[in-house]
Amino acid sequence: MSAVVYNITQVSFRQGLCPPGLLGRMNATMRFLVWGTMPLCGLLGGVLGSAIGVRETLLVAAAGGSLAFLPVFLPPLRRMRELPSGPGL
């Protein structure tokens, strides 16, 4: 459920902030950044699994996953209640 809420919130935020003419480019960039890292992370998981063991690799992945909220939680985005508007945004 939290993934659904997160996706709705972040897509709505991006759509409200981005000029309409750039929405397609922003969506393509975000998809590239999110989906494009998956093969790299799979490769890193395989390398770590071979180097330190499967159980330890899963612990590293769990620790990393538990810290994934920090980029959203710490910056001013958390306290933002309205989207910036105007020519300078």
User: Is the whole model's pTM more than 0.85, yes or no?
Assistant: no
SS3 of residue 83 by DSSP: coil
Tell me the pLDDT tens digit for each residue of 9-52.
Answer: 888 888 888 888 999 999 899 889 888 988 999 999 999 999 99
Q: If we measure between CA atoms, which residue out of 67, 62, 43 comes closest to residue 51? A: 43
Q: How far apart are CA 81 and CA 8, in angstroms?
A: 16
**Residue 18 CB contacts under 8 Å (≥ 6 apart), including other chains:** 26
Is pLDDT of 60 > 90? yes
Kind plus residue range of the DSSP H or E element containing 8: helix 2-17
Tell me the pLDDT tens digit for each residue of 18-29.
Answer: 888 999 999 899
**Average pLDDT of the residues in 56-63:** 95
